[in-house]
Structure 1
């Protein structure tokens, strides 16, 4: 049976919101694209913290417009295999990547080109970017771009990045370095070598962070991005960084901008993809799993100690 006429495919679904033990691989009908939509045969899906945060409880899921049975994962990469009426710019066989909110870990996803939202989008995958890497770009790339736009790093800056080795951190550190900034990144003592490979000067998180940063950068810190919580916000304020050059992504602090991937533009994401294609931006893959091991993969990612990205292969 041809790819375009398969009756069913696999998808990861949840029957209840809550723990990751409810993730299950099911056979589901293959969705068909309507007018203005296209269908992607997914080859890889990247995991992000928001995947399990969105499905952690019913109230949170409702805020994101999710209902049961719910899918899982948002970042995908693959090949267009069917286009609906009125679709231009894409054709069957095109390699693509993008976002499909809480439904990306599936053999097929349908994307609405007119939706115009960050979690429902499709982009051409540049030559030189493999599907596993492309599947890591959308959420982390958008979020890093938004965080960097909030603090505007440049050659005269020393930027403190909290959670520098995480999924968003690997993008933020490298792009800040490409902008000419010096980057100090927080992490565990065991992550120091990894952070140096990204271009960051490592510093251990925890009590006394401001003092350790001051010792590393006696000339001062000029901007800060907290990708984990609020510890780096507190340290940055102690070091004299003004609030308008501090941002968070995972917490809200009065007076400090909270960056969101939805703030970034499609052009920002395309720029990230082309940095990868040119070899100037490296995306470390922490682990890849077959779709049948989705629970194991999600648990690893949810532990928040992964260096780089976790990918599901389909």
Structure 2
């Protein structure tokens, strides 16, 4: 597949496109003109694109898509990794051949993406890939890493904390668990029975979600829980409140609860994403890639992602 791709003319590009909003069934691979790098931009030949729940959520219907500034025809996927192919006028710090990663809102599953070379604007960014980080791993970092970093910035965990993380086995959870552990906190992570061993490998103490969550956490941590982040909904929020955690040390990502701070990747601190990449390169943070798929299997991969039972990250190879 790589030899075929290398022969592909640089003026054309395969790209996953949507001609209508909907589920995985609307995803198709199209041949389109390759995007060109303008002033201040770089073009990246994509080798891998990471999938996230937001990819299919924001393209599921026209109203949601409009809130993200998307219109038809639209692309798909946001996280990418690859090699700089072209640089536009005025670009410094990047050159053809540089290995890079970042995010390109709803257009990453394509042979080429064009992104701004300056700044760290979420969903339109490029960073150097550190030595020791392969492209599949680099393609998983942007959305999940940014989101986890932003959520933990609300909690500011430390060695005296016991942090409850809801949805700990998901794509954002694998980052949140490990970043909290790196900060010195004890971590209790909610998940299914099938995810228990996976959570232990990440450094979390597993607890089953569902009715009675607060009681199970209290039995596991009789000394109390001091902070919590809910990466999936609101169950962990209410359990944390029941356990006496103050609202200011609870954070949501996928829901809104009055009085509880919310976080998203766009709120991550400057430098958060390169720092996560450095932690990966240093072997301090591990990114489990649950599965990778060739781009020709994009519909199947999107269905697997939408099922929301993946332990780790999914990647599309280009």
Alignment of 1:96-107 (within 5 A): 96-107=100-111
8 Å CA contact retained: 2:120, 2:126: no
1:84 corresponds to which residue? 88
Among 17, 21, 26, which residue is 1:17 paired with?
21
8 Å CA contact retained: 1:4, 1:82: no
1:297 corresponds to which residue? 301
CA offset at residue 266 of structure 1?
3.8
* Structure 2: tracts of 5 or more residues without a match: none
Among 123, 130, 143, which residue is 2:127 paired with?
123
CA distance in 1 between counterparts of 2:126 and 2:39 reads 15
CA distance in 2 between counterparts of 1:157 and 1:79 reads 40
Q: Secondary structure at the match of 2:187?
A: strand
Query: Does residue 213 of structure 2 align to residue 209 of structure 1?
Result: yes
CA offset at residue 7 of structure 1?
2.3
Query: Does residue 26 of structure 2 align to residue 55 of structure 1?
Result: no
Query: Does residue 31 of structure 2 align to residue 7 of structure 1?
Result: no
1:265 corresponds to which residue? 269
Runs of 4+ in structure 1 deviating by more than 6 angstroms, as ranges, are 1-4
Among 230, 233, 252, which residue is 2:237 paired with?
233
CA distance in 2 between counterparts of 1:81 and 1:63 reads 31
Query: Does residue 161 of structure 2 align to residue 151 of structure 1?
Result: no
8 Å CA contact retained: 2:120, 2:270: no
CA offset at residue 4 of structure 1?
10
1:142 corresponds to which residue? 146
CA distance in 2 between counterparts of 1:32 and 1:4 reads 16
CA offset at residue 2 of structure 1?
8.2
Aligned-residue Cα RMSD (Å) equals 1.4
Q: Could you tell me the TM-score, scaled by structure 1's length?
A: 0.98
1:311 corresponds to which residue? 315
CA distance in 2 between counterparts of 1:255 and 1:165 reads 26
Query: Which whole-Å deviations, capped at 9, do the CAs of 1:160-182 have from their partners, x for residues lacking one?
Result: 00000000000000110111100
CA distance in 1 between counterparts of 2:316 and 2:131 reads 21
CA distance in 2 between counterparts of 1:157 and 1:2 reads 50
* Structure 1: tracts of 5 or more residues without a match: none
